[in-house]
Every structure is written in C-alpha cells, then in structure tokens.
Structure 1
Amino acid sequence: MFYLTLVICLVASILITPMVKKLAFKIGATDKPNQRKVHQKIMPRLGGLAIYLSFIIGLLILRPESTYAIPIVLGSIIIVITGILDDMIELSAKIKFIAQIAAALIVVMYGGIQVEFINLPFGGVVEFGYLSIPLTVIWIVGVTNAINLIDGLDGLAAGVSSIALITIAGMAIIMGDGFVVAVASIVLASTLGFLVYNFHPAKIFMGDTGALFLGYIISVLSLLGFKNVALISFVVPVIILGVPISDTFFAIIRRIVNKKPLSAPDKSHLHHCLLRLGYTHRQTVLIIYAMAAFFGLTAVIFSQAKVWGSFVVVAVLLLMIEVFAEKIGLMGHNHRPLLKLYREIRYSTVKDR
C-alpha cells in the first residue's frame, strides 16, 4: 500500500498541475518579469497547490499514525493559504512572517514538536527550558524562508527540496521512524510529479504556495527526525539543508557588509552568481542539485562518524563552503578574506625563496 500511495501521489501531481496552471491565470496568480527575475514572459505561479493537494491525497490514503499528523496539517493549511494569497496579490513580508509564526506555533504548542534538550558529545546535557519554544519556531520559520529564497530558477527549489526529502527519509529509515518516512516520501512523490512541469523550461512556477509549504514541511520533518538527540546529531538537518541555509546566511552577511536592509532583494544569490560565471540556466540548476546531493551524502557520513571524526567533517565542510562562496562572489567581489589570506601567504612564501 505504501508504494502504491506514492505512485498515486506522483500521478495525482502530474494530473493536477495543468488544472492549477489554468486556475492561476484565472485568478491572476502570475509572475511578471522584472529586473530581478530570470524569466522573460508572464508565468503562472501557484504550482505549489498541486504539490499540496497531492500530499493531502497521500495522507488520506496512507493515514500514517502519529499525534503529530493533525498539527502538521493544520499548520500547513495556514502556510498554503498564505502562499495562495501571496501568489495572487503579493502580501507584505510582515503578514507572511506572522502567518509562518502562527503555523510554527501550532506544531510546537499543539503538536508538542520542540527541541527541549541536547546531549553534549563529551558528557552533560543542555536543557533549553523556556527557550525551546522560540528556538523551534526560529528553526521552522528560518528553513521555510530559506527554501523560499532559493526559488529563483526553473526546478531549483523543487529539486533541492526533493534531495533534502530523500535524505531525511533515508535517515528516518535508519532510525526506524515510520511516520517521517511516510510523510517525507509522500511530499517527495508529489514534488517530483510537479517537477515534470517545473524543470527548465518551466511551464509553471511553484510560487510562494509551494516554496513556503516545502520549507515548512521539511523544517518540521527534520525536527521530528533529529530532536532531543546528541549535539552531533542535531547538526545533521543543518547539513542536509546546507544549500538553502548557506545561501541565506551569505545573503545576510552580504547585506550587512553592504549596509542594506536584511529584507532588501538582490541578484547575488547562489544561482545568480553561477549564471554570471557563464553557466546556462539548466547547468546552474544541475550544479546546485549536485551540491544538495553532496550535502545530503555528507550528512549521512557525518551521522555515522565518531565524535572527533564528525568535528573534522564539519570543519572541512565549513572551509569548503567559505572558499566556494568567495570564489563565486556570494558575499560580493570585494569580500574574500580567506582567498586574500591565501594569496598573501603564497606571495610571502614565493618572496622568501
């Protein structure tokens, strides 16, 4: 029944997406080109509605048993309604932020999904106490927006989310968490069905309806899979979501360095930088897919490593991310501290010879 449900979700998404496309044009949920957009013509958004409807169909068929199911669905309803309205009339950032907090609070307060403590690698426990609720809400809202930020090219957010869902489902299988496996697999099948129409050249965008929903569900599933565990294991979901999290992190750094508001839009995200380097639309998306897969594989290796081995993995990973970000100009062409340090050391070495 499990595999049949996944096939049904995949087919449902493929069949529903063209209907959602027609609906998007009827209600004005379209994306017009501007100086920040890559596309050159008016495109229907709202495609995330097809992903969500297929997801609901999968839940109704499979009915995975868990006390978390109803709170997750209730929170998702708020997220999807917010996304639909934003795709139609472009809500203010404040309204979207409030809606995301409301959705997060439902799964935290009603569902009991909280990171309450962390076991330290060398003994001892860190109890979060009253901070457990705000920390969990920050995680959910942060990941939700991180997925939304990378939704800048055809198939990019859908593909990166799919890779994250595969990794989360795989890790859940290892840990024996049937509920996370079921929900992640249903969302994955629904997203892959939509990707048929969304990969370059896209016929429809997922819009905020899809980006916010995928960010929300991935953030919650990653918490379910890795909450109340060792500090080392808690890093796993951060690595799994390495692409959207690092892109968001460097966007914040970039705006601080350039003395711009954190909410200010720009064309210096990961995909913009790769496009400027001369890669085609499709090549850029595939490169970022490969990066997401690399992060997913690293997360699996990290989870199986010993304490000191895991520290080495994180250190090497952080160094690689920083060097790559400086190479492609993710923080701006003038902000390259490690590369400048390397050149100075190399110059001094050559001079001493």
Structure 2
Amino acid sequence: MPLYLSFFGISFVLALLFTPLIRKLALRSGQVAVPRDNRWHRKETALLGGVGIFAAMSIAWLSGSLWAGWRIAGQPYLPMILCAAGIFLLGLADDIFNMDPQHKLAGQVIIAAILLFFGFRLGWTDSKTLDLFFSILWIVGITNAFNLLDNMDGLSGGIAFIAGAFLFLYHYLNPSPGSFSIPGLLLLSTYLGSILGFLVYNFNPASIFMGDAGSLFIGFVLACLTMTQNTSLANEETSFFHLLSVILIPVLILFIPILDTGFVSLMRKLFRRPISQGGRDHSSHRLVAIGFSEKKAVLVLYGFSVASGLLALALNHFNIGTSVVLIILYLLFILFFWIYLAKVKVYSEKSIISDHPSGGFTPLLIEMTYRRRLFEVLLDLVLITVAYYTAYLLRFEGAPGTNFDFFLKSLPIVIAGQILFFFLFGVYRGIWESTSLRDLITYGKAITAGTIAPILLLLFLYRFYSFSRAVFVIYWGLMLMFVSVTRLSFRAVG
C-alpha cells in the first residue's frame, strides 16, 4: 500500500501543478468552451484540462514502473498506455479541430482493435470471436459514456474517481494470481491521483474543463482496467453464477455512466433527436430541473456511484442468492427513480409514443404499456419472486440448503396465486399517482389472500414436508412492504 499511496500522491501533486498552467495556456490560445443553448455552462471556460490529467498520470506511472521494476510493473500495461495516449490525442484533436462524430468513432474503434491485438480483451464467453466483439463494444461504449457524462462541473471526473477507487479496492481486497496485482494497482493509483488533482479545479464552480481529450482518456483507461480483470477471472471457473459475477462487477463499478448513456440515448430516440447531439437532457440536468442545485445533483449521482461500487464489492462476500436479491432491489430502486426523471420535461418536441395514431393492435399495445398495466404485472412478478426468496434467506439464515428444492416447486404456485388475487381484488385498476389508504387496504387484502391460498394448496399437496410455515409469514410482510412502497413512490414524486 505505501507504494500505491506514494505514486497516488505524486500524480495528485503533478495534476495540481499542471492544471492551472494549462488553463492559462488554453485561455491565451483561445481554447475555451463557449456557452451555447444546448450546453449547460453559462460562461467561457478553459478547455484542455485533459492534458493535465494525461501528463500527471503518465509521468507518475512511468516513474512508479521504473521504481517497482519495469518488467514487472511497467511492461504489462505499456500497450494499454500507448493506446490510451492515442485516445487522448484523438480527443485533443476533437477539442481543437471539432471532428465529425463518425470520424471520432472510427478512430476509437481502430485504437480499440489495436489494443485487442496485444491480448487485452474480455473473457465472458467460450468464443474468442464473441469476446473480441464484446471487447470492442465495451471499450468504445465506456469511453463514450464518460464523454457524454461530462456535462456538469465535476461529474465525469468524480464518477471516474469513484469507479476507479472501487476497482482498486476490489483488487486490493481480493488478490488473485495473474489478476491485476502490482502493475494494475500502481496504474490505478496514478490514475486516481491525476483525476483528484484535476477535480480541485473542475468541481463546481469549474475554472477548467477536461474536454474530449480528458473524458475520452479517463473512460478508455477505466474500460481497459475493468476488462483486464475479467480475463483471468473467467478462466478460473466456468459456472454460470461465477461468470455472472464476473460480468456484474465491472458493470456495477461503471453503472452510472452506463445508465446515463443508455437513458439519454433512449430518450433522444423517443423524441427523434440525434444521440450524438448535445443537450440539457442528462440525468444531472433533470435533477437540477426538479429542484437540486448543480452541486447537489452531482453529489446525488456520486451517491449512486458509491452504492453501485459497494454492491460490486459485496458480491464477493455474499452467496449468490443474497447477491441477486440485493441487485434486483437496487435495480428496482434505480428503475423507479429514473422513470421519475424521464417524466421531467426537457424537450419541446413530442415523443414517438404521443404521436402514434389510434386504432389497431400496435397502438393498443403501446397504449397498454404506456399506461403501465403490463409493467405492473411484470413488476409484481419480480416482487413476488424476490419477496419469497428473501423470506427463505431470512428464515434459513442465508442458506436454504435442501429447502431450496421446495422453494422451486412452490414458487410457481405462489406466483400464480398472488397474481390471481391481485386481479380479483382490483389491484391493477388503480392509478399509482393517486394511491390512497383505501388502496393500501386493498393491497393488504389481496396479499393476505394470495398468501393463504398457496398455503392451503401446498398443505394439501405436500403436507408441509421439508417446509417452514414461517416463510409465508415473512413473505407476507415483505410483499406488503414492496407493493406499498412501489405504488406510493409514484404518489410521492408524481
């Protein structure tokens, strides 16, 4: 750890020293971000902050690699650093000459392909061809995700720092032969130091922006570092659940940039806007639109990034069942929160859905989905499964063991019974935004009936052989809580 802290500090100090010098150079040379209608900043701000990040990290990494031993610490990641330098130069060219999006994308694909030639790739499948394809998508996708996330002071850099910190912690706390070890941790420590030093000047109110040179660079480095850890892990074990965790760890660590990119892309598609077009429609902008200050909006997204990182760390300390439950609950919370953000009006145009003509099966299906009836049933299907399985975990202290077979047998009965009584009691007739005490009582009746009926049927079929009736008591409480919270959430934010 002293080695990593030392070169983290060196990189941090270098970024602190370089950034104000680069800001002066950018202002003198006219490399500034000019306010525009589709951009968030309201004053001319120096660009080229990415130069400071790149220079600080490169110098610190080179020094650390020579100190720790070039063959051990430097040589393994030299191809990645050179490709990252190529991405940096590509972004710098875009900052200075304003490249076309397609040319910039082509350059990213070429650099990603060069990196794969040196053996940096994902290990998610048994097919090397598929792994190569996924690797290029991963590198280019994450690289551009951080570029799109660079839409508010301190946001992209802060999320990159948090993600990098959790990636560092994950590998430091879970060392494995051939996976990261000294070279990767040393590189990450210099990466984190350079970003933190830059954030001193980039956090609200920012005096300098990182530009495409910085956002593409920090995204590319993180994409590569999360990718390299997967190759060694995926080769150790081929079980589905292990492979699932191998995929989930980098996805969770980089969840916020992935989520924001997907969210913005979907919303722009719905409102017939080019995905590459800038705009004030990101998650951060929508948070400001509902009343958060710019600083608080950024801090909220920091919080989500920390939560995702903690969940990634937890995967190695919980069994697969507990991990899946936690992930599903977290994703449900994320889903409801971002549905609320999607309702914030940021476009003047009408969406594809609102323009759809009436009549016919397709408009009917769209209308049904839009009114959330289908969504409600699918959501309840997930809630029932999660509540029932969580009841098992709580009853048997996280290890259902032989009782898991009965869980699998009884789950279809529980799902069918609960959904049936939801329909019979009219749970799907109401509107969530106007959920009242009467609705909560209805939910309670439906859940009670949907709990008792499966108990009676299971009693008739299995006589409660190898089964605990306490599971249903816990299930009833969890289900009542899940259903009430999901419905009331729309009333709270509606």
Partner of 2:5 in structure 1?
Answer: 3
3-state DSSP of counterpart to 1:235: helix
Matched, 1:271 2:284: yes
Structure 1 counterpart of 2:209: 205
Indicate how the Cα distance of structure 1 residues 92 and 303 shifts in structure 2: closer, same or farther if over 3 A, else same.
farther
CA distance in 1, matches of 2:79, 2:273: 37
For 2:344 and 2:108, locate their aligned partners in 1 and report how far apart those are by CA, in whole Å: 27
Cα deviation code 1:128-186 (max 9, x no counterpart): 23121111010010001111111111111111110001000001112322222111111
Percentage of identical aligned residues: 29
1:182 aligns with 2:186: yes
Q: Which residue identity lines up with residue 113 of structure 1 in the other structure?
A: F
Q: Do structure 1's residue 43 and structure 2's residue 45 form an aligned pair?
A: yes
Deviation at 1:340, TM superposition (A): 8.0
Matched letter for residue 211 of structure 2: G
Kept in 1, the 8 Å contact 2:62–2:74? The answer is: no
Q: Which moved more, 1:329-338 or 1:272-281?
A: 329-338
Shift of the alpha carbon at 1:349? Answer: 4.1
Q: Check whether the contact 1:180–1:225 (CA below 8 A) recurs between aligned residues.
A: no
Contact 1:236 1:303 (C-alpha < 8 Å) held by counterparts: no
Q: Which amino acid aligns with 2:305?
A: A
C-alpha separation in 2, matches of 1:202 and 1:138:
32
Letter in 2 for 1:78: G
Q: CA deviation at 1:89?
A: 2.1
Contact 1:268 1:330 in 2 (8 A): no
Deviation at 1:295, TM superposition (A): 1.0
Tell me which of 417, 431, 436 is aligned to 1:344.
431
Distance 1:337 1:59 in 2: 52
Aligned mates of 2:115, 2:204 — CA distance in 1: 35
| CA apart distance, 1:2 | 3.7
Deviation at 1:8, TM superposition (A): 1.4
Distance 1:192 1:259, change over 3 A: same
Q: Quick check: 1:250–1:331 contact (8 Å CA) kept in 2?
A: no
SS of the residue aligned with 1:140?
Answer: helix
CA displacement, residues 262-287 of structure 1 (integer Å, 9 cap, x when unaligned): 32333221001001011111111111
Deviations 1:80-126 (A, max 9, x none): 1111111112111111111211221222112x01123x4xxxxxxx4
TM-score computed with the length of structure 2 as normaliser: 0.65
8 Å CA contact retained: 2:39, 2:278? no
SS at match of 1:68: helix
Alignment-derived partner of residue 71 in structure 1: 79
Contact 2:49 2:198 in 1 (8 A): yes
- In structure 2, do the counterparts of structure 1 residues 326 and 70 end up closer, same or farther at CA, with 3 Å as the change threshold? same
Equivalent in the alignment of 1:169: 168
Please list, as runs of the form range in 1=range in 2, the aligned pairs for 1:75-114 lying within 5 A after superposition.
75-110=83-118, 112-114=119-121
Residue by residue over 1:20-62, the C-alpha shift from the partner in whole angstroms, topping out at 9 and shown as x without a partner, is 1122223332110011222211111110110100011111111
Q: Tell me if the contact between 1:148 and 1:208 (Cα under 8 Å) persists in the aligned partners.
A: yes
For normalisation by structure 1, the TM-score amounts to: 0.90
Residue 25 of structure 1 corresponds to 27
Contact 2:16 2:197 in 1 (8 A): yes
| Amino acid corresponding to residue 224 of structure 2 in structure 1 | V
Q: Call closer, same or farther: CA 1:350–1:19 in 2, change over 3 Å.
A: closer
Residue 241 (1) aligns with residue 328 (2): no
Structure 1 position 192 matched with structure 2 position 196: yes
Contact preservation (8 Å) 2:92, 2:212: yes
* Shift in Å, 1:3: 2.7
From 209, 213, 223, the counterpart of 1:219: 223
| Rg larger in structure | 2
Over aligned residues, Cα RMSD in angstroms? 2.5
The answer to whether the 8 Å contact 2:95/2:213 transfers is: yes
**CA displacement 1:307-353 (0-9 Å, x = unmatched):** 22222222212211110101222786986848984853757947969
Q: Would the alpha carbon gap of residues 339 and 323 (structure 1) be closer, same or farther in structure 2, given more than 3 Å must change?
A: farther
- The separation in 1 between residues aligned to 2:373 and 2:306, in whole angstroms, is 25
Change (3 A) 1:332 1:129: farther
Give the Cα–Cα distance (whole angstroms) in 2 for the partners of residues 218 and 338 of structure 1. 40
Q: Is this contact kept in 2: 1:302–1:310, CA < 8 A?
A: yes
Shift of 1:66: 5.4
Cα distance, 1:135–1:338 mapped onto 2, change above 3 Å: farther
**Partner of 2:73: helix, strand, or coil?**
coil
Query: Does structure 2 conserve the Cα–Cα contact (< 8 Å) formed by 1:168 and 1:225?
Result: no
Q: Is the 8 A contact 2:142 2:219 kept in 1?
A: yes
